[in-house]
Chains A and B, each alone.
Chain A
């Protein structure tokens, strides 16, 4: 009887030990997936994100401080760039500038057809404008030279001309100009109607 009691107590003790060992193994095995571990992971991610953000802000502040040290030059630079590549397309403005340039070069422009091109992967908008000019062929180079002097940044994509008379040619030039977006106040209504719309002098 006594021996039986001892055996029972011993086996209960063994069961307790086994259960304890199993519990310890389960705890150790699942420890990495506990919430604190996940929390430490997210904390690390947050810390890395904060550090990156802080580094960026520091650098931006340094740059801003640097340009501010020569505020007058920066103001000119800013204004020039805002004119060269405005926020919106400003189609009336660009037509006006190009038209004046053609007239200044001794050419007569008859039509200007702006349209928006699709620029993939760029942070700016590209606009296209076909302009028809008529005039002395020798004035053509002057026109292209003067285009380079515009406040607005305008580039030439292609030119085609046909002789009308001995010295007069009819020129069709495809020009490109640029803006940061399409949604400025002046651009919105025109941009929608710009495609296939035609401005005539």
Chain B
């Protein structure tokens, strides 16, 4: 009995379940390596986790806290889910789960098509619920018109979202309880905190499911007291672990009898509907170990028989804990079965994705803002700051230079005016001529004549060259033209005479008159007088009387370095 069943009812091993999950549908592999899986049951605020190796439960933990997220974190403490590990299957026990058999077509492998088909079969509010489904024979879904059986479950969206939220960060597949029980034939009576329900599994398929109107144990806790008080009284009544509480015992017994009666009625109804319903039930859940359960079931003509196969599969778990761990154990055994349709869609992922997109947009806006701010800073404040620092440094340098200059300002003013005078002389000297040489040179080249007129001037000739133009008028008694020719020849052959020509020649009564002109290259004349000459001469002249020259007294002056002139810049 305790074995997985394929969708045709064949008993298969664990590997077969895996293959179905992966959609391969390959035959079982006998030498399969046992895989560790986790199954959980979320029953109100109670969470139970069972660790399975292969088909054997090896450990169980059960925790209850006020906050489901804290409870999940606590119960899963010590379990680390690796990237290649299978997801953990969570059976969600919550009320208002509606289950109905459906016809499955190949098109329903598409989740959207599947959801449309489910809500067509179950006219429920699609915005408030989510659907999951188990296809009984998925391998047969070939072609376009194949039809096979299946079962759909619809649960409140809020309960699913809250549960998924508690498992954020873990790969989880949330399934209805009946789907977790797939593979283990029997009439399963769930006696849990959130709900009490009845599931009929035939040939490994959860064919019928009904939540009992009696509700779960939490209804009794609510009657016994508010909050922890009621829960504590209920726990004591369940396990007889404290002082006798007749009220709690009576309420629990009353609830068990109502459950048993409703179970009886449900079985009878299903039997009348043509189902093969076994008489014995398998009670599981928190109240399955209640002392008054067997009596209540007997009053409804029911017998509770926990299968030996289950005892064997859960042999590592204390017997008293086994009924409460059944659903988590079953979930662990069916990890991946019928996925993805068997798993409720995680609405938190969508919410998270929307939130992430919103944050991304917000981050982008902030980034743009920061970038703009950085751009403004880079284009305004940084240059301004840099310029300000530069300006401050330059101002400090100017202050230092001014402090250095001020004691020497008087000396420099004298030096500056001296520079100006020296420059004036230098500029003039460029075009000056040693004029005594002009007279001496010009007249020295003249033959024995009487110079009656002499003129010399600095000018620029037609060729643009600076020359000294000399014009001489002379006469000679008994002179001849040959004298003029000889004179011109002499001039023209003299170095430094660039040009010579005659303007007139007369001879009247034996008195020859000559007029000629020539140009002298100034460079052959004596060196013009320069400021250096003047100063040197003055210094040489003053040398013997140096003691009489007053020295400039300035204590700030102690430099002996050679410097160059800056007066041109100053001016």
Q: Which of B397, B435, B549, B565 contacts A159 (CB 8 A)?
A: B435
Contacts of A28 in B (CB 8 A): 372, 375-376
Digitize A1-24: 1 where CB-to-B-CB distance is under 8 Å, 0 elsewhere. 000000000000000000000001
Given A36-B381, A65-B558, A50 and B456 touching (CB < 8 A)? no
Q: Which of B409, B434, B571 contacts A123 (CB 8 A)?
A: B571
**Would you call A58 an interface residue if the criterion is a C-beta within 8 Å of the partner chain's C-beta atoms?**
yes
Does the CB pair B452–A162 fall under 8 Å?
A: yes
Does the CB pair B534–A153 fall under 8 Å?
A: yes
From A125, which residue of chain B is reached at the shortest CB distance?
A: B424
Contacts of B535 in A (CB 8 A): 76-77, 80-81
**Would you call A31 an interface residue if the criterion is a C-beta within 8 Å of the partner chain's C-beta atoms?**
yes
The answer for the CA separation of A24 and B372 in the assembled complex, in Å, is 7
Residues of chain B at interface, number, CB under 8 A: 86
Question: Which secondary structure characterizes the binding site on chain B?
Answer: helix
Q: In the assembled complex, how far is the CB of residue A31 from the closest CB belonging to chain B, in whole angstroms?
A: 5
Contacts of B553 in A (CB 8 A): 71
Contacts of B404 in A (CB 8 A): 57-58, 61
Q: Which of B376, B421, B559 contacts A180 (CB 8 A)?
A: B421
Q: Which of A91-99, A140-148, A185-193 contacts B (4 or more CB under 8 A)?
A: A140-148
Contacts of B425 in A (CB 8 A): 81, 84-85, 153, 178
**Would you call B395 an interface residue if the criterion is a C-beta within 8 Å of the partner chain's C-beta atoms?**
yes
Contacts of A147 in B (CB 8 A): 435
**Would you call A66 an interface residue if the criterion is a C-beta within 8 Å of the partner chain's C-beta atoms?**
yes
**Would you call A199 an interface residue if the criterion is a C-beta within 8 Å of the partner chain's C-beta atoms?**
no
Contacts of B408 in A (CB 8 A): 60-61, 64-65, 68
Residue of A24, A60, A126, A159 contacting most chain B CB atoms (<10 Å): A60
**Would you call B432 an interface residue if the criterion is a C-beta within 8 Å of the partner chain's C-beta atoms?**
yes
Does the CB pair B421–A60 fall under 8 Å?
A: no
Q: Which of A41-49, A110-118, A128-136 contacts B (4 or more CB under 8 A)?
A: A41-49
Contacts of A153 in B (CB 8 A): 424-425, 428, 529, 534
The answer for the CA separation of A145 and B437 in the assembled complex, in Å, is 9
Does the CB pair A50–B440 fall under 8 Å?
A: no
The answer for the CA separation of A126 and B411 in the assembled complex, in Å, is 27
From A39, which residue of chain B is reached at the shortest CB distance?
A: B384
How many interface residues does chain A have, given as a range?
35 or more
The answer for the CA separation of A143 and B435 in the assembled complex, in Å, is 10
**Would you call B128 an interface residue if the criterion is a C-beta within 8 Å of the partner chain's C-beta atoms?**
no
**Would you call A196 an interface residue if the criterion is a C-beta within 8 Å of the partner chain's C-beta atoms?**
no
Q: In the assembled complex, how far is the CB of residue B20 from the closest CB belonging to chain A, in whole angstroms?
A: 44
Contacts of A61 in B (CB 8 A): 401, 404-405, 408, 412
The answer for the CA separation of A54 and B458 in the assembled complex, in Å, is 45
**Would you call A122 an interface residue if the criterion is a C-beta within 8 Å of the partner chain's C-beta atoms?**
yes
Does the CB pair B453–A43 fall under 8 Å?
A: no
Does the CB pair A157–B457 fall under 8 Å?
A: yes
From A156, which residue of chain B is reached at the shortest CB distance?
A: B435
Contacts of A155 in B (CB 8 A): 428, 432, 528-529
From B432, which residue of chain A is reached at the shortest CB distance?
A: A155
Does the CB pair A43–B387 fall under 8 Å?
A: yes
Does the CB pair B571–A158 fall under 8 Å?
A: no
**Would you call A195 an interface residue if the criterion is a C-beta within 8 Å of the partner chain's C-beta atoms?**
no
The answer for the CA separation of A36 and B539 in the assembled complex, in Å, is 59
Q: Which of A37, A64, A78, A123 contacts B380 (CB 8 A)?
A: A37
From A56, which residue of chain B is reached at the shortest CB distance?
A: B569
Q: In the assembled complex, how far is the CB of residue B557 from the closest CB belonging to chain A, in whole angstroms?
A: 4
From B530, which residue of chain A is reached at the shortest CB distance?
A: A153
Contacts of B421 in A (CB 8 A): 81-82, 84-85, 124, 180
**Would you call B247 an interface residue if the criterion is a C-beta within 8 Å of the partner chain's C-beta atoms?**
no
Given A40-B384, A76-B549, A63 and B565 touching (CB < 8 A)? yes
Does the CB pair A69–B401 fall under 8 Å?
A: no
Does the CB pair B423–A123 fall under 8 Å?
A: yes
Contacts of B383 in A (CB 8 A): 37, 40
Q: In the assembled complex, how far is the CB of residue A107 from the closest CB belonging to chain B, in whole angstroms?
A: 13
Does the CB pair B562–A75 fall under 8 Å?
A: no
**Would you call A200 an interface residue if the criterion is a C-beta within 8 Å of the partner chain's C-beta atoms?**
no
Does the CB pair A74–B552 fall under 8 Å?
A: yes
From A147, which residue of chain B is reached at the shortest CB distance?
A: B435
Contacts of B529 in A (CB 8 A): 148, 153, 155
Q: In the assembled complex, how far is the CB of residue B389 from the closest CB belonging to chain A, in whole angstroms?
A: 9
Does the CB pair A36–B384 fall under 8 Å?
A: yes
Does the CB pair B551–A75 fall under 8 Å?
A: yes
Digitize A79-90: 1 where CB-to-B-CB distance is under 8 Å, 0 elsewhere. 111101101000
From B392, which residue of chain A is reached at the shortest CB distance?
A: A47
**Would you call B379 an interface residue if the criterion is a C-beta within 8 Å of the partner chain's C-beta atoms?**
yes
CB within 8 Å of A: which B534-571 residues: 534-535, 538-539, 542, 546, 549-554, 557-566, 569-571
**Would you call A72 an interface residue if the criterion is a C-beta within 8 Å of the partner chain's C-beta atoms?**
yes
Does the CB pair B422–A69 fall under 8 Å?
A: no
From A160, which residue of chain B is reached at the shortest CB distance?
A: B455
Contacts of A36 in B (CB 8 A): 380-381, 384
Does the CB pair A140–B439 fall under 8 Å?
A: yes
From A161, which residue of chain B is reached at the shortest CB distance?
A: B454
Given A32-B379, A47-B394, A122-B427, A180 and B450 touching (CB < 8 A)? no
The answer for the CA separation of A193 and B223 in the assembled complex, in Å, is 133
**Would you call B451 an interface residue if the criterion is a C-beta within 8 Å of the partner chain's C-beta atoms?**
yes
Does the CB pair B368–A50 fall under 8 Å?
A: no
**Would you call A166 an interface residue if the criterion is a C-beta within 8 Å of the partner chain's C-beta atoms?**
yes
The answer for the CA separation of A24 and B538 in the assembled complex, in Å, is 76
The answer for the CA separation of A47 and B401 in the assembled complex, in Å, is 14
Q: Which of A62, A76, A79 contacts B561 (CB 8 A)?
A: A62
Contacts of A46 in B (CB 8 A): 391, 394
**Would you call B398 an interface residue if the criterion is a C-beta within 8 Å of the partner chain's C-beta atoms?**
yes
Does the CB pair A65–B559 fall under 8 Å?
A: yes
Q: Which of A47, A66, A162, A176 contacts B562 (CB 8 A)?
A: A66
Does the CB pair B424–A65 fall under 8 Å?
A: no
Contacts of A43 in B (CB 8 A): 384, 387-388, 390-391
Supply 16 further A-B pairs (C-beta < 8 A) apart from A144-B436, A159-B456: A50-B397, A51-B397, A61-B412, A65-B557, A65-B558, A68-B552, A71-B551, A74-B552, A77-B535, A81-B425, A123-B420, A124-B421, A140-B439, A145-B436, A156-B432, A163-B453
5 A-B residue pairs with Cβ-Cβ distance under 8 Å, sorted by A, are A31-B380, A39-B384, A40-B388, A59-B569, A122-B424
What are the 7 tightest A-B residue pairs by CB atom distance, in nearest-first order?
A: A65-B559, A158-B457, A144-B436, A68-B557, A124-B424, A50-B394, A43-B387
